[in-house]
Amino acid sequence: MNVTIFGVGYVGLVTGACLAQVGNRVTCVDIDATRIDDLRNGRCPIFEPGLPELLREGTQSGRLQFTTDSIAALENAELVMIAVGTPPDEDGSADVRHVLAVARTLGRQLRHSVTVAVKSTVPVGSCDRVAAVIREELDKRGANVLVEVASNPEFLKEGAALKDFNKPDRIVVGSDSPLVQRQFRTLYAPFNRNRDRLMFMSVRSAELTKYAANALLATRISFINEIANIAEHMGADIEEVRQGIGSDPRIGHHFIYPGCGYGGSCFPKDVRALAAAAHNSGYRAGLLAEVENVNQRQKRALFHKLEALFGGDLRGRTIAIWGLAFKPETDDMREAPSRELMEQLWRAGARVRAYDPVAMEQCRRIYGERDQLVLCDSAEEAADGADALAICTEWRCFWAPDFAELRQRLQRPLIVDGRNLFDPAYVRERGFTYCGVGRGQRLAVDVAERKVTRSA
């Protein structure tokens, strides 16, 4: 099939590379000429395991092309996918102007009938707006062109996107057109072999399904973080509680790991956008508002623990941070808990020594050069001379450190573990003051605070 994809961000690149790998002819279009040149020259603009190799395979085979010329890209297209960004507006709602700009381009440039699939995460009703804009531009030209608009949301996890695309849990298509449904069955046949993962539904239901999925996952994270905070106050261990509730098959173990909050490009944006869309429809989504509130409080939890450990005064302290990306296997720092922690530490007069396996360049791009930030070449180097270690991302390289070496490198043996990587008793036996999330250590924090204050 001849597929044209507008947008060479995360979704567009993964979709294009995977569709080209199974034999489709894919043309990716973007207005960013520099990014298109990078892609043509084999440079992948995002970090995603396996994606650079797949992009090279597609371009070398000739099945995957990149261009800024939308007219040429549409010449032979049978299916057009819109995969441009929908950044949050000031009120938290999704800004769909880029999606509608593509729709206007399609209406002005299409010369034959096509199916248009919206893969961007858009509010309910956006596909109707896309169809209306395309039809408006076609009517201006007097063009007799049939354009079917469908919703085809993506469900890709950063760090596992290729696996998610090639072996999807579900493939959601919003369209009641038999022609469009047949087209999508053909397109996704290589990814739909051992059982039927295609789910056809109304356009609006498909649009809402994407938001509902992310909102529910975010809700589970905020819920377990709230329980972790309760456990901390009551002297219970959230790890034992987590295993106890996760054994219930109605609950399961997925997304009930407590920590320092969720981040990234999807959950924060989509929770706010769904709440804003509900408000605009006349409904107050109180649960979604509280999911967001809990998450914002949780992102500040590590700072408050460090503040308590140092008696409320972090001026002149140096804090080592392990992990800058919002999750492992990505360099994405959008709304990452590490950013909230660093910015609070700087406001409090502290310095930061940080390390992340892949997000260092992103951190430099965001914060530039500053006296309060030292980006280190290794986790061990980040700990050198620091007054405490804070863990923000659960990269595997942090799971089993040499605690004897770590204690020698740290100025004070203090660990604030925002991802509960370590067993508290094991770490404390090795001479550390250890604070996890919800590990029943509220009294331990109070004791540690007195110890640190005396030693300082």
- Which residues are marked as active site? 266
Sheet of 433-435, strand order: 373-375, 351-355, 318-322, 388-391, 414-417, 433-435
CA dist list (Å): 151 to 95, 136, 214, 307: 17, 20, 17, 47
SS3 label, residue 175: coil
**Dihedral over alpha carbons 209, 215, 221, 224 (to 10 degrees):** -100
DSSP 377: S
- Are 8 and 36 in contact, with CB atoms under 8 Å apart? yes
- Evaluated on CA atoms 303, 304, 310, 316, the torsion sign reads positive
Contact 322, 379 (CB under 8 A): yes
Return the structure tokens found at 2.
């001849």
Cα–Cα distance measured from residue 261 to residue 263, given in angstroms and rounded to the nearest whole number: 7
Question: Residue 456 contacts by C-beta under 8 Å, 6 or more apart in sequence?
Answer: 310, 311
Tokens of 351: 């310095």
Q: Which of 212, 211, 202, 147 is nearest to 176 (CA)?
A: 202
Neighbouring CB atoms inside 10 A of 397's CB total: 14
Residue 354 backbone zone (phi > 0: left; psi -120 to 50: alpha; other: beta): beta
